[in-house]
Amino acid sequence: MKKLTLFLVLTGALSVSAWYYLNREQPREVGFVRPRRLDVVSTLNTNGRVEPLGAVALRSDRDGKLARLHVRLGDGIRTGQPVVTFDAFETENEIPAAEAKVAQAESELKLFDRGGTPAAFAELDASLASARLRKESARRDVAAAERLVEKGAATRQELNEARDRARQAEGEIAAIEKRRVSLVAPEGRQAAEARIREARAAVAALRAKAQRVTLSAPTGGTIYNLAVKPDAFLRAGDLIAEIGDARKLQATILVDEPELGRVSKGMPVRLTWDARPGESWAGVIERMPTQVAPHGSRQAGEVLATIDNSGGYLPPGANVNVEIRTGSSANALTIPRGAVRREQGLAGVLVLDGDKVRWRALKLGEASVTDVAILEGITESDAIALATENPLRSGETVRARFR
């Protein structure tokens, strides 16, 4: 009986032990990789816009209507080639009036040379007497109007009109007296000479303006922005066209403020344009930003790069995607970027040690989209834990699965 009891106890104990062994929590399976040697290229991806290098703006030098537009958007153009022709009709009509002012000023000067002619003095005296009569008459009208306004027999407007006539007559008297004195005064002759010079200069300017009816290209290149249409009326300073050499483009590249430290002059860039998938354009950063400013929701600096567009397929004004090559490492020891973990601000990995993982800090180098170069911390023989869905802790037991 005792033997049977002992047998049953042992059998139960073995059953419990077997159940516990079979149902205990199994270590989770974790993927591992070995470091490998690769060439790593670090890039920064952003966006920008391209314009011709050394672009020149052609602006109107006058107010006027266009008679003819000689170019179209996208045309190649040579230095000195006509761009627009203005309608000179209004300018040509202004010349006779300006010439008449010259003749009048010259006639006045002749009077000074003769000390003033008797006829000129007689004419001025007659004008002066007539103006004085008008003044006296106007003064009487003002006095009468004031009395009538007090009695309510005239309006305030009638009184103001009478006063205006009196002031006008006084002004005429002053002008005539000034002209009479100027017939013999030296300063009057100097003023007449100045009026001749001014009138002649006005005629010369109008004639030159009428001759310069056509504006030509100040430089050769491509018309990449045409801001006017035929028959348009322009004001002086209005933009007509922008001209540049589209074989060399300047890319204005937006780099977010935190990334500016990765970028420097001389770095290569590669541009792509959504309208021509599969193609790219190469260039080099020529200038770093002088300031950081808001660009929409971004705080960024404008980096300038020169782009080779010898094929001419990338049009000025295009919005482009930009890849800046910020660094590279040849034959570097690398691991996948996703295997790098961070604890308390330090970069590191979990390395397989027997059936457990152990934390190891790293010194990182250049990084591409998929891989990161490791400068210190691991060797080629180490097994590195890949990213897991749930946190993996140093010291945890795992089942390794190599990829």
Which candidate, 324, 282, 327, 332, places its Cα nearest to that of 306?
282
Which DSSP state fits 26?
A: P
Q: What is the pLDDT of residue 210?
A: 56
Residues 298, 389 within the same domain: no
Residues 36, 95 within the same domain: no
Check which CATH number belongs to the domain holding 368 and give it. 2.40.420.20
Encode pLDDT of 313-370 as tens digits. Answer: 898 889 999 999 999 899 999 999 999 999 888 999 999 999 999 999 999 999 888 9
Residues 194, 259 within the same domain: no
Residues 144, 196 within the same domain: yes
Residues 127, 274 within the same domain: no
In the numeric block, which tokens belong to residue 236?
A: 């002086």
Q: What is the pLDDT of residue 19?
A: 41
Q: What is the pLDDT of residue 280?
A: 95
Tell me whether residue 15 is in a domain: no
**What is the number of structural domains in the chain?**
4
Return the exposure string of 201-219: e unless at least 16 CB atoms fall within 10 Å of the residue's CB, then b. ebbeebeebbeebebebee
For CA atoms 274, 275, 276, 277, give the dihedral sign.
positive
Which DSSP state fits 292?
A: E
Residues 112, 186 within the same domain: yes
Residues 106, 202 within the same domain: yes
Tell me which residue range forms the domain holding 385.
28-40+330-402
Residues 283, 351 within the same domain: no
Residues 113, 261 within the same domain: no
Encode pLDDT of 261-276 as tens digits. Answer: 999 999 999 999 999 9
Residue 10 pLDDT exceeds 60: no
Residue 155 pLDDT exceeds 80: yes
Tell me whether residue 14 is in a domain: no
Q: What is the DSSP string of 118-130?
A: HHHHHHHHHHHHH
Give 280 or 103, the one with higher predicted confidence.
280
Q: Which of 42-56, 61-75, 287-301, 386-400 has the lowest mean pLDDT?
A: 61-75
Tell me whether residue 335 is in a domain: yes
Which residues sit opposite 166 in a β-bridge? none
Residues 273, 283 within the same domain: yes
Q: What is the pLDDT of residue 402?
A: 93
Residue 227 pLDDT exceeds 70: yes
Which residues sit opposite 133 in a β-bridge? none
Strands, E, within 217-318: which ranges?
Answer: 221-226, 233-234, 239-256, 268-272, 281-287, 292-295, 298-308
Tell me whether residue 397 is in a domain: yes
Give 346 or 186, the one with higher predicted confidence.
346
Residues 75, 110 within the same domain: no
